[in-house]
Structure 1
């Protein structure tokens, strides 16, 4: 059961990320740009985490200055980079293609985990990575007519989104060796906020920010798909390999697609159903119990 709980944490976090459109659409309708919405998200998260820390986790709010590089990794190289690349890619190409390039993240995590975290690269992981990417392609629904308009720079930026998305898992793994989940999550969003606030000049829309239901949607964006989601994902990373966590997290587009069907009456056809099945099968495959004979074979291999 202890092995299942971290996986459940990651699934819940990915499901919460899949709900982000509920908040983003409302804030977009209110007149905020994509990067302003990202700034609302990280700043609100940093404030909420700071309040939680002040009340309950004061000892966990301390870090050593040389370790700030870890949070530059999670906050700037991941959160800021992947959001900038993702929104830039959307401006360069069809939305579905930008989504697909974003979800190359499991492939990046698997390679980077092998190189820097010394995680094993086996056939199951490779198969799961390819299956999740294929599943995301189908769920996103590729518009083949739009592929002719793709420019190489757009593809590179889109891959940058996937790479940046992957870096949270890598830097997060290193940070968790020194700090607890709360500390890693808090400083990730503090660092990201310090970068994004001066860039977006969000304070110019202060009157809009404090108006009516915008406050509630802003807090909701910072709380559910951000604070809670990242705390759960980071907690899951303590016990789950980075490559496996990235594959499990691809349930996010499945949840997002299902919500879009029920909340916004968007289409869901056979192709999306096949993609959903591929993703879920990959998650099950990567988390299948290791049988006794497989363990014995691994022990024999290590001896020889």
Structure 2
């Protein structure tokens, strides 16, 4: 389910490109994404999940964590980093998230960092760096602020796994997904000005892109991720989720004719290897007991 969520996230560029062509800014697209998702989830909840619509006021901070500190903050940091630097560097910094998840999970969720998990995280960071097309050549440098904002995207991305894991101890995956996007919508609606463009969204094919963005890489993806997160460690889930750039790369090749270099293929292979290795348990052969009468 986590891998399925990553695959859905990998399709996001298709919908974003359509909305960008229609004239929407990056943060307006984020607002469209979370508001559309919130509306869909409310309707689904009223139809099928009425028993999972209530939360305790004292737990609201968890959904502020997943909705604002994660969804809103990481999107702002990510798009700002893209403007300050470039897409490959921003992508690489975003996918430092498994390292952040491992560290935060160690301190707050008491999850252990074993050698296999540590190696998977290292391979993931290296793989994402190579997949993003960064080879260390060219001499391009960036300000400390821009690098910190880029790392902020990875940190914000990681917070969903932390706050979400705690929320899932008390709530159904649907409840966590629903209130994440309700809170995120409450933060973005008054700050992005997307309400003034509401009429534009329902013209031509724009509403199809908006609806698709709300369903596939958002509702389905976050529900699947929350469902999987409930059943595995946060640090493991974060590594599996890095399949997203691999899927995005395949989408770029098949739909938009993008070409990959050898380093990018190597990076994608390292990501897949890290995801597979962290999910395979090698059985230990037990010593046979001596025969006794």
Q: TM-score, normalised by structure 2?
A: 0.95
1:93-104 matches, within 5 Å, as 93-104=85-96
How many matched pairs? 287
Distance in 1 (alpha carbons) for counterparts of 2:284 and 2:41: 43
Distance in 2 (alpha carbons) for counterparts of 1:116 and 1:206: 41
2:140 alignment partner, SS class:
helix
| CA apart distance, 1:81 | 0.5
In structure 2, the residue matched to 1:28 is 20
Q: Which of residues 204, 210, 221 is equivalent to 2:202?
A: 210
In structure 1, the residue matched to 2:179 is 187
1:243-282 matches, within 5 Å, as 243-282=235-274
Q: Is structure 2 residue 231 aligned with structure 1 residue 232?
A: no
In structure 2, the residue matched to 1:120 is 112
Q: Which of residues 46, 49, 62 is equivalent to 1:57?
A: 49
In structure 1, the residue matched to 2:163 is 171
| CA apart distance, 1:188 | 0.1
Distance in 2 (alpha carbons) for counterparts of 1:25 and 1:236: 29
Q: Is structure 2 residue 8 aligned with structure 1 residue 16?
A: yes
Distance in 2 (alpha carbons) for counterparts of 1:123 and 1:16: 30
Deviates more, 1:134-143 or 1:77-86: 134-143
Q: Which of residues 45, 65, 73 is equivalent to 2:37?
A: 45
In structure 1, the residue matched to 2:143 is 151
Q: TM-score, normalised by structure 1?
A: 0.92
Q: Is structure 2 residue 123 aligned with structure 1 residue 131?
A: yes
In structure 2, the residue matched to 1:4 is none
| CA apart distance, 1:181 | 0.4
2:161 alignment partner, SS class:
helix
Q: Give per-residue Cα distances to partners, 1:247-304, cap 9 Å, x unaligned.
A: 000000000001101110111121111111101110111111241359x9xxxxxxxx
| CA apart distance, 1:145 | 5.6
Distance in 2 (alpha carbons) for counterparts of 1:285 and 1:206: 46
Distance in 1 (alpha carbons) for counterparts of 2:194 and 2:272: 39
Unaligned residue ranges in structure 1 (runs of 5+): 1-8, 297-304
| CA apart distance, 1:206 | 1.8
- Which of the two has greater helix per residue? 1
Contact kept, 8 Å, 1:94 with 1:146, in 2: the verdict is no
Deviates more, 1:170-179 or 1:272-281: 272-281
Q: Which of residues 49, 57, 62 is equivalent to 1:70?
A: 62
Moved over 4 A (4+): 143-147
1:283 alignment partner, SS class:
helix
| CA apart distance, 1:146 | 6.1
Unaligned residue ranges in structure 2 (runs of 5+): 288-293
In structure 2, the residue matched to 1:79 is 71
1:67 alignment partner, SS class:
helix
| CA apart distance, 1:147 | 5.2
| CA apart distance, 1:91 | 1.1
| CA apart distance, 1:148 | 2.7
